[in-house]
Amino acid sequence: MECVDCQSLLCYRGDQEGFPGCPMEDRTIFDESLELLKEDPILKFYQTSCRIESKGYGRWPRACEIIQFCKDMEYQTIGFAFCIGLKREAAIFNQLLKCAGFKTVSALCKSGGIPKEVLGLSDKDKVRPGRTEVICNPIAQALRLNQQKTDFNVVIGLCVGHDSLFYKYSEAPVTTLVTKDRRLGHNPVAALYMSESGYLKEAFDEVMGETVREDTR
């Protein structure tokens, strides 16, 4: 039984036993996770996140949750790694952080100006073939924020995979303010709601293959 297929949701009601085939049958990972959550400073971090959930649930937008979380954690310096396509949004968030009393450090994805050809990418791999394009460099973004010893980092619109590399190399904990989805106004969950609609059918057929898509309908 996979969690996504479960109809009982016994865990949500506080039942720790589960039923045959339920992942809760083996308590090993849950016991291990509990011990890790109790460790300092993880315990404070986790308790703070739960209190933020309680304070703002359904009322605060994510930007407010991030700011309040950083306040409650008594952070001083907040870093953010942003996509050049969301520079305006990053500037607004930067101003909000400063108004809340934080020092900020920012890292642009294109910083460094390194041509894509340096990493073996050809002209056909570019967004706009025939033009000079430089790489997005999420590792450099992470190293820049590490260098400035940020307490907490925020991702604003990094590409799929680039964001993963930023998470991997960031020394400070990371959260995401914006998940980039240019097709849907940066609202990627809309694709799940519309995955069977004509509006997105072409995109899903291109990625998954039309035959596979027919089998899932």
Q: For each successive 10 residues of the chain (217 residues), what is the average pLDDT?
A: 91 87 92 97 98 96 97 98 98 98 98 96 94 96 98 98 98 98 94 81 80 50
How is domain 77-180 classified at the architecture level of CATH?
3-Layer(aba) Sandwich (3.40)
In this prediction, residue 17 carries a pLDDT of 82
Domain definitions of the chain by residue range: 77-180, 181-217
Tokens of 150: 């940020």
In this prediction, residue 210 carries a pLDDT of 62
- Taking the C-alpha atoms of residue 78 and residue 70, their distance in angstroms, rounded to an integer, is 8
pTM of structure: 0.91
Q: How many CB atoms lie within 10 A of CB 142?
A: 24
In this prediction, residue 217 carries a pLDDT of 47
